[in-house]
Each structure stands twice: as structure tokens, then as C-alpha cells.
Amino acid sequence: MSAHARPAGARAPVTVPRLHEMKAAGEKIVALTAYDASFAALCDAAGVDVVLVGDSLGMVVQGHASTLPVTVDDMVYHTAAVARGVRTALLVADLPFLSFRDADTALRSSARLLAEGGAAMVKLEGADYVLEAIAALARRSIPVCAHLGLTPQSVHKLGGYRVQGKTKPAAERLLADARAVQDAGADLLVLECVPAALAGRIRSELAIPTIGIGAGADCDGQVLVLYDMLGITSGKRPKFSKDFLAGRGSVLEAIRAYAEAVRGGAFPAAEHAF
């Protein structure tokens, strides 16, 4: 066996085309955040498909009140650490606040996350002017995950962490934005804090996979903040999360339980949706 051959039964690395195949086949995509090599290795060992280095690290790791203080340097540092722990999961890294304010800035920021951090895909919030950045990245073969609904970098504009798309006009705008990010070249879409019925409609109308967080069970996959699903986040846990560590003997067991619950349709349940 060559030095690069996989052992029999070993999982093949998850790729962007593989995520699209999973959507087509109706296989649920399991995603979790991670911010260091140790937790990343546990996510990988548990069979998580996508590991996201979220700018949520500003809150759960750095202790800030929002994600806004996170810098590109912070993201490169944590992405590189996570990359050392990941073997088969697809590694996605957030572009932090104002690091994609125009296409050129988005390209420079993304180049660092891929070249220095080892990411395979970047995630960025919003539509509107962001479409230009998505298109510029896609033209240069940089995979993009879009993020709509509750976009934490817009917390001041939104007036807090609130469910989005609740009225008919707001739902239509969100659906239009979802089509727009797909048309601009996004390969994946995260929907956060969106009514479950709307998220299901978006999933059915898009060709790209949708990953929900507080968006009901009808998305193509689910993502949670690792610290939330382990029950170690300080303060009140989000409604859409669940403590998978409770009653289990290890973090690895908790992550495996989460993965099984997502793939089997047990999570999210009705109480985790809006």
C-alpha cells in the first residue's frame, strides 16, 4: 500500500462535489464548529462532514459580546489550528466583519484563510453588495458558503439576535437572496434562525445544499456551535441547540450522538425550530 493510500474502510475526504451528491441523495450533512486541533480531531473521528471555524470564536473563545471584534489574523490562527486536527471533514472558515467589504478585500482575506489557514471553503454573511464578492471568489475557484437569515455581523442593524423572515415580505426577500447567492456562485448556504417552513421552501428551490441552525429539520444538513451542543456555553443556551454531552461519558460520544441524531432525523426536533 502506498504512503498515500487509505486503509480499507477509511472515510474518503469530504469535498464540495460530495456535499452536492449528498443533497441529491437525501443524505443529511453533519456540521459543527471547532476552534482548535483537539476538538477538530474529535469532530473528524466522530464522522462530522463539515467543520466550521466560526467567527463565533469571538464570543465562545475570546469572551466578546459579539463576533464583530474578530480579525482575519484571529481566523487564520484558529483555522490553521483546526486544520492540524482534521483529516477527512471539509474545513470551512468564516470571513470576519468587514473582511469582504468589496471583492478585492474578500479575495485577499480568503487567500489567507486557504493558503495560511488550510481552509477548503470560506463563509460570508449576507447578499446585496456581498454578491460581488461571492462572484469574484467563485470565478477564482474559491468555494463559498453563503449565510442568510440571522447574520450575527449585522446584529446592530437587526436590533439583536432575532428570527428572520417571519413576515411574508421578509420571507420573499430571504428567498430572493437565497437564489441570488446561488446564482452568484455560492456552493453552500447556511440558514440561521429562519422559520422552518421557509427554510424548507428555500431548500426545495435551490440546487445547492442548505445547512440549518435554528431553521428546522427540512434543511439538507445541520450545524451547531460546538460549545452549545456540549452544554458548556455560559449563559442561556439557544432554543435551537441541545446538550448532547448530558448523560454521556465523553465529548467524542456526544459528537457521535449529534451526528447520528442529524442523520437519523431526530435532531432538530420541533422544540428546536421557529
Residue in 116, 132, 172, 192 annotated catalytic = 192
Residues 6 or more apart whose Cβ sits within 8 Å of residue 77: none
Q: Which of 225, 226, 228, 223 is nearest to 213 (CA)?
A: 223
Locus of grid cell 439538507: 220
Catalytic residue list contains 253 = no
Q: Are the C-beta atoms of 67 and 56 separated by less than 8 Å?
A: yes
- The total of other beta-carbon atoms located within 10 Å of residue 5's CB is 8
- The total of other beta-carbon atoms located within 10 Å of residue 265's CB is 10
* H or E stretch at 33: strand 29-33
Q: Which of 205, 133, 146, 211 is nearest to 171 (CA)?
A: 205
- Residue 95 gets the label, from left (phi > 0), alpha (psi -120 to 50) or beta, of beta
List residues with catalytic annotation.
192
